[in-house]
């Protein structure tokens, strides 16, 4: 694999430059997405619309669109001979990434109950994003990122790892609550109850935001920061949109419930 990358990029320095450029492009896209989301919701799930292409079966869409986020990094990790890939900090941070994407790409899609079909445009965009981000995160961590030997005892790593873990648990638990609102065969919406949903409408989104923020703190790179910021922008907007949607749809929606941050927002 080293040969492929040497042929593609010429040298490690050039590939690292590319990885940095990709992070700045993601930050730029996050800004553009923020502006777009002021006028339109990301078109999938309850906001799916036929103007964004033909419908793709929801389980197939989630499985195929998320799979590159697992397969591309797996190929990178198995193929690299760089010393970074055997360092403890790199390994632990890579493990956090894989823990999330094994769940998201190989388990989550098959547990979905009655989800709306995904418009082709949203599906294709998610697929491209997973290839892009999978390469950007794991190529950097497995081949370039250098940490001091005692990084795993550094407060940034420890607090990042704790945040990542808490966010992961909140995300998985909240997705579990949502899916169990529907009995097999049902497709409608109900008021979520339990867990952090008692306080906010976007509990699953808060979990994911906390998770990738913790990851960014532990990984301490422009690559991980760009992904955490992108996630924050996309999912905070979705949490606010869902909150408004619930308030319009359900007269008895709990008035004290906030959109994303308990008691605050
Ligand atoms: N890192 C990122 O940038 C990123 C981006 C997007 C998503 N994600 C993650 O991917 C996961 C799914 O995201 P999502 O946007 O699809 O979440 P969502 O809109 O909350 O929907 C999740 C699932 O639960 C169902 N559902 C939601 N609310 C329901 C209710 N009140 N009653 C019954 N069923 C309900 C949905 O069905 P319908 O399909 O019928 O609405 C869907 O199958 C989340 O964990 C999210 O954090 C991450």
28-51 pLDDT, tens digit per residue, is 999 999 999 999 999 999 999 999
Number of domains in the chain: 1
Residue 5 pLDDT:
82
Atom of ligand 1 nearest to the CA of 58: 39
124 CA → ligand 1 middle, Å: 17
Place of tokens 């913790």: 214
Structural domain harbouring 135: 2-249
User: Is residue 261 a part of any domain in this protein?
Assistant: no
pLDDT in tens, 163-205: 999 999 999 999 999 999 999 999 999 999 999 999 999 999 9
The answer to whether residue 263 is domain-embedded is: no
Residue 44 lies in a domain: yes
At 184, is the secondary structure helix, strand, or coil? coil
Handedness of CA 216, 219, 222, 223 (dihedral sign): negative
Q: Is residue 228 part of a domain?
A: yes
Which residues does 100 contact at the CB level (< 8 Å), separation at least 6? 168, 211
In a domain, 262, yes or no: no
Q: With a 6 A CB cut-off, is 178 part of the ligand 1 pocket? A: yes
pLDDT in tens, 239-261: 999 999 999 999 999 999 999 99
Least confident of 73-82, 122-131, 250-259: 73-82
pLDDT at 10: 87
Q: Please indicate, yes or no, if residue 260 is contained in any of the structural domains.
A: no
Is the CB of 43 within 6 Å of ligand 1?
no
Helices 12-37 and 120-139 sit at what angle, rounded to 10 degrees?
A: 140
Residue 119 lies in a domain: yes
* Any atom of ligand 1 within 6 Å of the Cβ of 115: yes
The helix-helix angle for 203-219 and 88-102 (nearest 10°) equals 160
| pLDDT interval class at 3 (50, 70, 90) | low
Q: Mean pLDDT throughout 124-147? A: 98
Q: What is the pLDDT of residue 2?
A: 65
The enclosing H or E element of 155 equals: helix 155-179
Cβ-based neighbours of 171, under 8 Å, separated by 6 or more: 204, 207, 208, 211
Q: Is residue 259 part of a domain?
A: no
C-beta of 208 in contact with ligand 1 (< 6 A):
yes
Closest ligand 1 atom, residue 191 Cα: 31
Per-residue CA distances from 173 to 74, 115, 157, 166 (Å): 26, 18, 24, 11
Out of 3-7, 82-86, 145-149, least confident range: 3-7
* Confidence at residue 19, expressed as pLDDT on a 0 to 100 scale: 98
């Amino acid at each position: 694999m080293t040969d492929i990358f040497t042929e593609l990029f010429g040298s490690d320095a050039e590939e690292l430059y590319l990885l940095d450029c990709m992070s700045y492009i993601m930050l730029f896209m996050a800004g553009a997405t923020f502006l777009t989301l002021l006028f339109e919701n990301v078109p999938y799930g309850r906001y799916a619309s036929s103007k964004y292409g033909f419908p793709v079966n929801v389980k197939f869409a989630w499985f195929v669109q998320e799979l590159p986020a697992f397969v591309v990094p797996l190929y990178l990790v198995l193929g690299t001979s760089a010393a970074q890939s055997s360092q403890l900090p790199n390994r632990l941070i890579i493990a956090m990434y894989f823990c999330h994407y094994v769940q998201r790409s190989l388990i989550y899609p098959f547990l979905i109950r009655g989800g709306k079909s995904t418009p082709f445009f949203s599906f294709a965009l998610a697929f491209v994003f997973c290839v892009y981000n999978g390469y950007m995160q794991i190529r950097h961590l497995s081949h370039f990122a250098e940490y001091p030997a005692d990084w795993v005892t550094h407060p940034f790593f420890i607090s990042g790892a704790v945040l990542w873990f808490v966010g992961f648990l909140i995300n998985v638990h909240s997705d579990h609550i949502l899916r169990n609102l529907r009995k097999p065969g049902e497709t409608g919406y109900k008021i979520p109850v339990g867990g952090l949903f008692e306080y906010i409408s976007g509990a699953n989104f808060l979990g994911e935001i906390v998770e990738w923020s913790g990851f960014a703190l532990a990984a301490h790179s422009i690559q991980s920061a760009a992904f955490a910021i992108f996630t924050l922008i996309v999912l905070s907007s979705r949490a606010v949109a869902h909150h408004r949607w619930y308030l319009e749809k359900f007269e008895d929606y709990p008035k004290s419930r906030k959109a994303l941050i308990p008691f605050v927002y």
